[in-house]
Amino acid sequence: MPITVSMTVNGKAVTGEIEPRTLLVQFIRENLKLTGTHVGCDTSQCGACVVHIDGTSVKSCTTLAVQVDGADVHTIESLADGDTLHPMQEAFRENHGLQCGFCTPGMVMSAVDLVKENPDPSEQEIREWLEGNLCRCTGYHNIVKSIKAGAAAMRG
């Protein structure tokens, strides 16, 4: 039986009639047409689907949309301000922190959450934090470099 969910996504109030089994990532991509959030493994291992729920990073492929009814959700689309990239996005661009780019939205969302908790993470702390984000191009070296630079830029 379809049920109604309402939440704030990227600052905008949204509502949808969905089946309870709808995953948050499906709701974001298919109902809201925000396709920056990716589905990689669909088994909560790769982290391409990371979004922020009430300020913390979670895997939207392992969360039901109904579980976040009333929550404040932010996706990768919320980071840039028009044509001005978020400092973390800019750092990924500057440091070539991507190869094919598929994992990048999740990497960036995960990195932004890390810096909120730990404004000046060491390389080791960054690598540990990326436990749940996989890059199948194995471009970790530049991703870690990007996050280090992005953290510095976010500190200002």
Dist. CA 73–CA 53, nearest whole Å: 5
Instruction: Identify the CA nearest to 61 among candidates 32, 35, 28.
Output: 28
Residue nearer to other proteins on the CB measure, 52 or 145: 52
Matching residue, tokens 């995960």: 110
The verdict on 1 binding other proteins (CB under 8 A) reads yes
Using rule CB under 8 A, residue 75 touches other proteins: no
Q: Does 50 bind other proteins (CB under 8 A)?
A: yes
DSSP-derived 3-state class of residue 2: coil
> Interacting stretch for other proteins, rule CB under 8 A, among 8-16, 56-64, 72-80, 142-150?
56-64
- Among candidates 36, 25, 27, 33, which has minimal Cα distance to 6? 27
For the bound state, the minimum distance from the C-beta of residue 105 to other proteins, rounded and expressed in Å, comes to: 13
Q: Which is nearer to other proteins, 43 or 84 (CB)?
A: 43
